[in-house]
């Protein structure tokens, strides 16, 4: 006899592990199926793809069509219904579709912890209670193939943690709050993050993956003290992709590792004094995007990996939080920077960033010839001095590119290197580039006594040319350029004109002068352009 029950929103939860028979949730919003025995389970409104997915187990066995997936709880809510619709798919993108937003919204609306899971037997037989309990525990743990975790710490000291996990035969979610009940303001801020959380999930689970982390770094700092996102996803080629994002008052960081390579990036927000206005920051971001793209082209870097690197760079350097008390010591002290000081800086927060491709042997006949790409770029700012009138300010920017790759002898030819000497017609490139930019500013007794920019760039290109496996040419081309610009005279004159203009004597060109200087401080990795 088939039993169909209606579960209201106030009905107590039923723990699945306390029930010996299998349970199924209907996709119909007002009905949930709770069978009285495994042989009489009926799923109403079930999508055909879900039923088909139950026909064969992960071990290739023909499953009992009457054995429905086992649910941790039989309850009617948006999260469970979302899971019902997603469970029939095998891809992470479809499994987690809308689920992160649904989980966050339900927590924000109910202010109650959430735990739910659905598991399909891999043996074709209904799971015994002990086996079901063990399977649920594993699915909720870090042992699951795919996991996504979002941790939010509130300014009031509470911790909100959400997790989504999946594997071939199961899907699970949890949401819990530690440290006290969330306030109405905290719940409202939580709900506003739902779409951003889902956007991050959608980007990471799509093929190829993308980084859509903006909303998670732009949280309401009056409500939340920090945000952490941690993901581990099994890709189609059985490789694993991991990501760690952290954002708080003192800084932001992203670490990602996958089949293509790794990226690591951190931004120091403690030195708020060095930050420029939005126009200056936009100009600096554009300059760095050009530098990264130039490095990708010169080193033949992986387009997808470098695209994620650029996305991470823009995300961490966009929408800096409003100045607020930091929890760690500043490296630039509390001395106030002038408009002149800012013109000689990038306007960005200090940072370090690196991206490294997985090296591979690109030529079976010569295992030592690796295809590789490694690029790092950084900025650091230091201030010294006893007071506002007597001080120095130094900002350093650095970049380094090391890459190697194979290319055909002529553009348009197909490169297919094997151990056959007839295939060994190619060029092997080895790149080693470095660039730096150093800005120095100094004051004595309130007077500007030093304002300079020193820049250098070097490129080394080694090309080994092989014909039928024989080395025909091995040539290294070095390029190097450096220059130092002393801006003390230009700035002193502009400052004097500005002072006179404020007294009604002439016109000030200070803003134009400072704007022109800003164009000169950014890192330049091309020796040719540096000479120009």
Tokens of 6: 């209606």
Which helix or strand (DSSP H or E) is residue 114 part of?
A: strand 114-119
Say what the pLDDT of residue 65 is. Answer: 54
Phi-psi region of 385 (alpha: psi -120 to 50; beta: other; left: phi over 0): left
> What Rg, from alpha-carbon coordinates, does the chain have?
30
- Local confidence band at 66 (pLDDT 50, 70, 90 cut-offs): low
Contact 147, 165 (CB under 8 A): yes
pLDDT for residue 430 is more than 60: yes
The whole-number average pLDDT for the span 328-339 is 64
Could you give the percent of the chain with pLDDT greater than 90?
Answer: 66
pLDDT for residue 324 is more than 70: no
Contact 329, 251 (CB under 8 A): no
pLDDT digits (tens, 9 = 90+) for 345-389: 999 999 999 999 999 999 999 999 999 999 999 999 999 998 889
Q: Which of 40-49, 107-116, 231-240, 250-259 has the lowest mean pLDDT?
A: 40-49
Tokens of 352: 């370090």
The alpha carbon torsion through 44, 48, 49, 50 (nearest 10 deg) reads 20
Q: Which of 123-137, 220-234, 267-281 has the lowest mean pLDDT?
A: 123-137
First to last CA, the chain: 86
What DSSP letter does each residue of 421-458 carry, written as one string? GGG--EEEEEEEEEEEEEEEEEEETTEEEEEEEEEEEE
The whole-number average pLDDT for the span 454-463 is 97
What DSSP letter does each residue of 228-239 carry, written as one string? EEEEEEE-TTS-
> Which pTM does this prediction carry?
0.84
The interaxial angle of helices 99-110 and 194-205, nearest 10 deg, is 160
Contact 45, 28 (CB under 8 A): yes
The whole-number average pLDDT for the span 396-420 is 95
- Local confidence band at 495 (pLDDT 50, 70, 90 cut-offs): confident
Say what the pLDDT of residue 469 is. Answer: 95
Question: Cis peptide leading into 143, omega within 30 of 0?
Answer: no
Contact 427, 467 (CB under 8 A): no
Say what the pLDDT of residue 424 is. Answer: 96
Pair type for strands 370-387 and 350-357: antiparallel
pLDDT digits (tens, 9 = 90+) for 132-191: 999 899 999 888 999 999 999 999 999 999 999 999 899 999 999 999 999 999 999 999
- Cα–Cα distances in Å, from 404 out to 363, 368, 370, 460? 12, 11, 7, 12
Looking at mean pLDDT, say which of 41-45, 93-97, 197-201, 526-530 comes out highest.
Answer: 197-201
pLDDT digits (tens, 9 = 90+) for 373-383: 999 999 999 99
pLDDT for residue 450 is more than 60: yes
How far apart CA 177 and CA 163 sit, in angstroms, is 12
- Local confidence band at 416 (pLDDT 50, 70, 90 cut-offs): very high
Say what the pLDDT of residue 16 is. Answer: 39
Q: Between residues 164 and 27, which one has the greater pLDDT?
A: 164
User: For residue 78, which of 110, 120, 125, 33 has the smallest C-alpha distance?
Assistant: 110
DSSP 40: G
- What average pLDDT does the structure give for the chain? 85
The interaxial angle of helices 194-205 and 184-192, nearest 10 deg, is 30
Say what the pLDDT of residue 334 is. Answer: 57
């Amino acid at each position: 006899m088939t039993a169909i029950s209606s579960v209201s929103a106030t009905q107590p939860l039923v723990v699945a592990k306390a029930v010996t028979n299998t349970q199924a949730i209907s996709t119909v919003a007002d009905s949930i199926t709770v069978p009285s025995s495994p042989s009489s389970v009926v799923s109403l409104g079930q999508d055909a793809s879900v039923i088909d997915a139950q026909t064969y187990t992960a071990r290739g066995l023909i499953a009992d069509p009457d054995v429905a997936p086992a649910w941790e709880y039989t309850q009617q809510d948006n999260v469970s219904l979302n899971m019902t619709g997603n469970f029939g798919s095998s891809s992470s993108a479809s499994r987690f579709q809308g689920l992160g937003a649904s989980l966050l919204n339900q927590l924000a609306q109910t202010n109650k912890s959430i735990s739910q899971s659905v598991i399909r037997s891999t043996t074709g037989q209904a799971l015994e209670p002990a086996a079901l309990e063990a399977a649920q525990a594993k699915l909720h743990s870090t042992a699951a193939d795919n996991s996504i975790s979002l941790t939010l710490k509130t300014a009031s000291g509470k911790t909100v943690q959400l997790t989504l996990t999946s594997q071939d035969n199961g899907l699970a979610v949890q949401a819990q709050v530690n440290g006290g009940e969330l306030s109405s303001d905290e719940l409202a801020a939580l709900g506003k993050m739902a779409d951003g959380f889902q956007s991050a999930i959608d980007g990471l689970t799509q093929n190829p993956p993308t980084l859509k982390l903006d909303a998670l770094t732009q949280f309401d700092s009056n409500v939340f003290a920090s945000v952490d996102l941690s993901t581990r996803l099994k890709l189609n080629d059985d490789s694993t992709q991991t990501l760690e994002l952290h954002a708080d008052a003192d800084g932001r960081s992203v670490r990602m590792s996958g089949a293509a390579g790794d990226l690591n990036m951190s931004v120091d927000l403690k030195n708020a004094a060095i930050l420029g206005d939005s126009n200056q920051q936009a100009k600096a971001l554009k300059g760095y995007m050009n530098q990264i793209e130039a490095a990708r082209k010169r080193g033949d870097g992986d387009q997808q990996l470098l695209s994620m690197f650029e996305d991470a760079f823009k995300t961490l350097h966009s929408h800096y939080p409003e100045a607020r008390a930091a929890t760690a010591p500043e490296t630039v002290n509390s001395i106030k920077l002038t408009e002149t000081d800012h013109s000689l800086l990038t306007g960005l927060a200090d940072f370090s960033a690196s991206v490294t491709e997985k090296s591979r042997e690109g030529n079976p006949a010569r295992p030592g010839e690796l295809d590789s790409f490694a690029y790092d770029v950084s900025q650091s700012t230091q201030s010294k001095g006893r007071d506002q009138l007597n001080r120095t300010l130094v900002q350093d920017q650095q970049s380094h590119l090391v890459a190697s790759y194979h290319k055909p002898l002529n553009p348009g030819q197909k490169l297919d290197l094997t151990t056959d000497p007839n295939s060994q017609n190619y060029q092997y490139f080895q790149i080693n580039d470095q660039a730096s930019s150093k800005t120095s500013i100094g004051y004595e007794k309130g007077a500007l006594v030093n304002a300079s920019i020193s820049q250098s760039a070097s490129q080394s290109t080694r090309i080994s040319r092989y014909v039928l496996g024989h080395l025909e040419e091995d040539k290294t081309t070095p390029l190097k350029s450096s220059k130092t610009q002393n801006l003390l005279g230009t700035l002193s004159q502009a400052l004097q004109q500005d002072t006179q203009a404020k007294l009604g004597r002439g016109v000030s060109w200070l803003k134009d002068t400072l704007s022109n200087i800003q164009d000169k401080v950014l890192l330049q990795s091309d020796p040719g352009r540096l000479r120009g």
